[in-house]
């Protein structure tokens, strides 16, 4: 829960998982901001999900606001959450058809250059895994680093937002590693630490490289050289503990 002073009302985040098409789970991150005058005024809502496009997230938000209007002057957050759990699939199906028409026009201009920082728990079949990541990065024209430091494995990528999204899908759905019995398996222990637009102070990586670091200081230097000191200090120290 995030609280703001009385003057601003309160804000809180809720994560919900919704069973969707083909029995995939969609993880939705909802941020509600309730103004002081709530519930006689509508809450502000923002919707994010790694599995949905930006357009789909906006569609879900619009539909939630439509629902909110029906509940005006009574507490509604709980009802809105129930509603989205029941109706998400319908909203996405509608959104997909519209989205495909738009996409053919705007392919390749999707929202500037983005950056993604991933944390992997382990690589059993390291050589094969590394090759796969290098191949994906090259096919999707992504630059950055695959970084090993002790037990820590990080993947830092920069490129078109659509390519970053595609990379995530590959990383989650392909059999990239082997399990303890040597069978091929998907990556289940990946965490997205950060996904954000590249700012002017960030330096662009020119290539994709695999690097090993022997100390946290060396790793930190790599981030600092790229103008990513804040990214390092926010996400990496907790992993070192």
CATH code of the domain in which 79 resides: 3.10.110.10
How large is the angle between the packed helices 161-173 and 126-139, nearest 10 degrees? Answer: 150
Residue 53 lies in a domain: yes
CATH code where residue 211 lies: 3.30.70.100
Residue of higher predicted confidence among 46 and 9: 46
% of the chain exceeding 70 in pLDDT:
87
Which secondary structure element, helix H or strand E, spans residue 12, and what is its range? strand 10-19
Contact 110, 161 (CB under 8 A): yes
Last residue of a domain, one of 36, 61, 96: 96
Shared-domain flag, residues 87 and 119: no
Q: What's the whole-number mean pLDDT along residues 55-80?
A: 90
Q: What's the whole-number mean pLDDT along residues 169-174?
A: 89
Shared-domain flag, residues 120 and 165: yes
Contact 140, 163 (CB under 8 A): yes
pLDDT at 99 over 80: no
pLDDT for position 218? 95
Residue 103 lies in a domain: no
Closest CA to 171 of 112, 127, 118, 125: 118
Question: What residue numbers bound the domain in which 234 lies?
Answer: 113-239
CA pair distance 168, 47, nearest whole angstrom: 19
Q: What's the whole-number mean pLDDT along residues 148-170?
A: 92
pLDDT for position 137? 95
- How many folded domains does the chain comprise? 2
Strand ordering across the sheet containing 44-48: 2-3, 10-19, 25-34, 44-48
What average pLDDT does the chain have? 84
First to last CA, the chain: 25
Shared-domain flag, residues 117 and 192: yes
Closest CA to 116 of 54, 175, 169: 169
Q: What's the whole-number mean pLDDT along residues 20-49?
A: 83
Kindly report the pTM of this predicted structure. Answer: 0.55
């Amino acid at each position: 829960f995030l609280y703001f002073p009385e003057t601003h009302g309160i804000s809180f985040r809720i994560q919900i998982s919704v069973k969707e098409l083909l029995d995939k789970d969609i993880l939705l991150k909802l941020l509600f901001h309730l103004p002081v005058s709530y519930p006689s005024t509508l809450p502000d809502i923002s919707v994010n999900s790694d599995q949905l496009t930006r357009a789909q997230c906006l569609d879900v938000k619009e539909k939630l606001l439509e629902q909110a209007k029906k509940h005006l002057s009574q507490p509604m957050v709980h009802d809105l959450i129930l509603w989205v759990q029941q109706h998400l699939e319908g909203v996405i199906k509608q959104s997909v058809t519209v989205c495909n028409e738009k996409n053919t026009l705007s392919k390749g201009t999707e929202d500037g250059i983005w950056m993604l920082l991933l944390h992997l728990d382990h690589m059993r079949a390291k050589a094969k895994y590394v090759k796969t990541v290098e191949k994906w990065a090259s096919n999707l024209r992504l630059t950055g680093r695959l970084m090993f430091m002790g037990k820590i494995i990080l993947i830092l990528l920069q490129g078109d937002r659509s390519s970053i999204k595609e990379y995530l899908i590959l990383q989650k759905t392909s059999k990239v590693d082997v399990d303890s019995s040597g069978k091929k398996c998907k990556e289940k222990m990946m965490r997205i630490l950060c996904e954000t637009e590249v700012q002017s102070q960030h330096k662009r990586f020119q290539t994709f490289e695999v690097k090993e670091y022997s100390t946290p200081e060396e790793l930190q230097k790599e981030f600092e050289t790229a103008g990513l000191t804040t990214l390092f200090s926010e996400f990496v120290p907790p992993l070192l503990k």
